Structure 1
Amino acid sequence: MFDVAPQELLLVAVVALLVIGPKDLPRAMRFVGKWVGKARGVARQFRSGIDTMIRESELADMEKQWAAENERIMREHPVATLPAPDAADAHTPIDDPAPVMVEQPAILPAPEAPAASEPATDEKPKRARKPKVAAAAAEDTQP
Structure 2
Amino acid sequence: MFDIAPTELMLVGMVALIVIGPKDLPKAMRFVGYWVSRARGVARQFRSGFDSMMREAELQEMEKKWAEENERIMREHPPTPQQMLPMTQAIDHEDVAPVLVEAPVIAAAPEPEVPPAPVAKPVRKRTVKAATDTDAKPAAKRVRKPAAKAES
Q: Shorter chain as normaliser: what TM range? A: 0.5 to 0.7
Secondary structure of the corresponding residue to residue 23 of structure 2: coil
Tell me how far 1:25 sits from its aligned partner: 0.9
Q: Structure 1 unaligned runs (5+)?
A: 129-143
What is the identity, as a one-letter code, of the residue corresponding to 1:77?
Answer: P
Tell me how far 1:51 sits from its aligned partner: 0.5
* 1:43 corresponds to 2:61: no
What is the identity, as a one-letter code, of the residue corresponding to 1:109?
Answer: E
Show CA shifts across 1:74-113 (max 9, x none): 322336365887xxx9588448764566655664333454
Tell me how far 1:73 sits from its aligned partner: 3.1
Q: Which has the higher helix share?
A: 1
The count of aligned residue pairs is: 120
Alignment of 1:63-82 (within 5 A): 63-75=63-75, 76-78=77-79, 80=81, 82=85
**Matches of 1:69 and 1:100, distance apart in 2:** 50
**Matches of 1:17 and 1:127, distance apart in 2:** 82
Q: Structure 2 unaligned runs (5+)?
A: 126-152
- Note closer, same or farther for the CA distance 1:103–1:91 as it changes in structure 2 (3 Å cut): closer
* Aligned-CA RMSD value: 3.7
**Matches of 1:98 and 1:73, distance apart in 2:** 45
Tell me how far 1:35 sits from its aligned partner: 1.7
**Matches of 1:91 and 1:30, distance apart in 2:** 80
**Matches of 1:79 and 1:126, distance apart in 2:** 90
Tell me how far 1:46 sits from its aligned partner: 1.5
What is the identity, as a one-letter code, of the residue corresponding to 1:114?
Answer: P
Secondary structure of the corresponding residue to residue 61 of structure 2: helix
- TM-score for both structures, normalised by structure 1: 0.60
Tell me how far 1:42 sits from its aligned partner: 1.8
